[in-house]
Amino acid sequence: MNGLQIPLHTLSTIVLPSLGVSAVALHLYLLSRKPLPAPDAFPAYLFPAVASHGRHLPVSGRNAFAYPVLFIGADLDALEEGSVDEPFRLIHYGGNPMKKVLGIRPTRYLFSGENSIRSKLEKLLEKQGIAREMIGRIWVHTMPSILGFEGINPLNVFYVYGLGDATSRRLLCVALETEERYSHCYVLRVDSPLRHEPAKGYDLAFTFPRSFHVSPYNTRNGSYQVDVIDPFPPGWSETPGFTPRFKVIVRLMTVDDQLKLTVVLSSGPSPPTRLERSVRSVSGVLWALARWPGTLFLVQTRAYWQAYKLHYWKNLAIYPRPEPPNPLSQKSFNPPQEDEHHIGVVLQRPLISGRETTARNLVEKWAERRSKTLDVGLEIVFHNEREPLLVGAGKTMLKIETADSELFVNLLISPSPEQFLLLAPERLTHVADSQLFTTFFGPPSVPERDFLARTARSIRRRQSNYLYSFSRLSPPPSISNLAPNTPHFTDTNLLSRRDRFTILNTVFWSWYGGMHLGWIFHILRGKFVPGQEPWSIWDRVLKRMLGQDVNSGVPLGSVSCS
C-alpha cells in the first residue's frame, strides 16, 4: 500500500491558503476576547499620507521636498482599550515596541511617564481651561513605530470633541504635538481669539506666536498660521460611506509677516484601510507595508539629508539649540516670541546627563558642609522643571535662579566664582547676591595641593585659555589671572579623595567634550551663526562688558554663511 499522496500543486493552491485563512481566523477569535469599540467611537484607519516642505526665505536657501508616510488615525479610547489591535500584532497598543509590527505606546506622547495618553491630554487641556467633564471623544492621528524602531514623529494631532452622540458632538480644540530634542505642543481652542477665517477647503485656522526651537536654521520668533480640516464634521455619521480625511497646513511667518516656510501633511492619495477585526483589514495593512516598506524607517533619515543640503548646499548657518522657553530666555540670543495667550506648552524636556547628576551630588555634599561653616544657606531654583536644591538654613540665604541644564558641571569647571558670575547670563543663570556667591564658592582657607587638585586646576586653566583664544578682546584685570595654582572651592578636605577624583573626571570630560565639538565642526566645515558658537562664549561676555549688543536678531530668521 503506497499511502495517500497529495500532489504539490494541490498543496500550494488549496492547503496553504486554507492554513493561512485558519491562522487569521484563530487570531481574530483571540482578539474577539478584547472589547469592541464603543458604538459611538470614531472609526480607526491606517492612512497613507504625504508630507511636503517648502522653504521660501532666505531666497538663497529656497528648498522643497515631499515624502510618503503612514499614519494611524484612531479613537483614543478605543486605541487604549486594545480595540484597534490587529492579528499577528500587526498593530498593537502598549508594551514592548520590539514585539509588534506597527505600535503605539504612551511613553512617547505628551508628558513623560506610563500614564495613558488620554489622562496626559486631559491634564494638558485642564491647564488650558478645558475641564475633563467637557471632553468627549478624542481622535488622534500619529505615525506609529515599526518593528521596534521609533523615529521622531513630525506631527501628532489630537482632535478633541465635546460631549454628545456622533451627530451632535462638536470640536473643542486641536492639539498639535511636535517631537524634537524636547517635545512641545500648541493647544488651539475653537473659541480662541487667535482663530480666524480659514483658507478655502479648510474648517479652522489660527495664527499664534512661535515659541520653540524646531529647525537649526530658524530663530524661535515669528508666528505660525495653521489651517486644519475637521475629520468628523457635524452629520458625518449620517453620510453613507463616509471616510475621514486629515490635512494640516502650517505656514511659518517672520516677525515682519513674510512667508518663510510651508509644511503640509495630508492623507492620500491612496485610500485608507479601515482597522477592524476582518481579513480585509489585515490584508490592507500588509498591502500598505508592502507598497511603502521603508517609509517609516526613512522619516528621520530624510530630515537629516535635507538638513545637510540646507547647510552645505544652501549655506544656511546653524543656530545653537537653546533651552526651552523660561523666564530667563527673553534676554538671551534667539528668544522665543512672546506668547501672552500661553498657547505653547513644553512637554518632555531633555534628560539631564549622568555627568550633571554626578556633579549635582558632589556640589550638594560640599554645600551642606560649607553651609554649616559659614552659616549661609543655599537655594537653587530651576526654571526647567528640575528639582530645586535647598541646603542649610543659615542667617543668610544665597539664591540662584537658572535654566542651565549643566549648572553643576559649570560650577565645577569654572576656575573661580568671579568667572562663573561673568558667564552666568550666557548660561541663563541669575545670582541674587554676587558678593555672597563669591564668598560661598570661594577657595578654602587651607586648599588641598595634591595631584588631584593640581591636575583639576590645570584643566580649568586650559579650558579658560581655550575659550579666551576665540576673542580678540583683552580680558579685564579682575579675571586675567588664571595661574594653575588658583584654588577652587572643591580643593578642600570637606570632600573625600574619592569625591575629588570624581570631580577631576567630570572636569576633564567637560573640557574634552567642548574641545571635541570644536574639532568636529572644524573637520566637517560646519558653521554656526557668526558669534554664537558655543566656544565663543567668552567673546560674547567681553563684548557685553564693552556695551555691545550680542543678542541682536536676524530679520528673516535665518543666516547665510556663504
Provide the mean pLDDT of the chain: 87
pLDDT at 4: 45
Residue among 73, 62, 106 nearest 248 (CA)? 73
Rounded Cα gap, residues 276 and 473, in angstroms: 69
pLDDT at 29: 53
pLDDT at 474: 78
| Three cell numbers, residue 288 | 500598505
User: Worst-scoring range by mean pLDDT, 117-121, 122-126, 194-198, 527-531?
Assistant: 527-531
What is the mean pLDDT of the segment spanning 244-258? Answer: 93
- Would you place residue 14 in the very low, low, confident or very high pLDDT band (cuts 50, 70, 90)? low
pTM for this predicted structure: 0.87
Neighbours of 498 (CB within 10 A): 9
pLDDT at 436: 96
Neighbours of 187 (CB within 10 A): 25
Return the percentage of the chain with pLDDT > 90, whole number: 52
pLDDT at 34: 63
For 256-281, what is each residue's pLDDT tens digit?
999 999 999 999 889 999 998 788 88
- Would you place residue 139 in the very low, low, confident or very high pLDDT band (cuts 50, 70, 90)? very high
For 148-201, what is each residue's pLDDT tens digit?
888 778 899 999 999 888 777 899 999 999 876 668 899 999 999 999 999 999
Question: Residue 149, SS3?
Answer: strand
What is the mean pLDDT of the segment spanning 380-389? Answer: 91
The better pLDDT of the pair 140, 18 is held by: 140
HEC secondary structure over 270-319: CCCEECCCCHHHHHHHHHHHHHCCCHHHHHHHHHHHHHHHHHHHCCECEC
User: Worst-scoring range by mean pLDDT, 3-17, 148-162, 450-464, 480-494?
Assistant: 3-17
User: Worst-scoring range by mean pLDDT, 8-22, 297-311, 487-501, 518-532?
Assistant: 8-22
- 247, 340 contact by CB (below 8 A): no
pLDDT at 376: 94
- Burial of 137 per CB tally in 10 Å (0-12, 13-18, 19+): buried
Helix-strand-coil split of the chain, %, nearest 5: 35, 20, 40
pLDDT at 478: 64
Would the pLDDT of 23 be above 90?
no
Would the pLDDT of 20 be above 60?
no
- Report the DSSP beta bridge partners of residue 159: 139, 174
Would the pLDDT of 410 be above 70?
yes
pLDDT at 486: 80
User: Worst-scoring range by mean pLDDT, 13-17, 116-120, 349-353?
Assistant: 13-17
pLDDT at 150: 81
What is the mean pLDDT of the segment spanning 513-522? Answer: 90
For 152-165, what is each residue's pLDDT tens digit?
788 999 999 998 88
Rounded Cα gap, residues 187 and 175, in angstroms: 4
pLDDT at 1: 42
pLDDT at 559: 66
What is the mean pLDDT of the segment spanning 287-300? Answer: 88
pLDDT at 3: 47
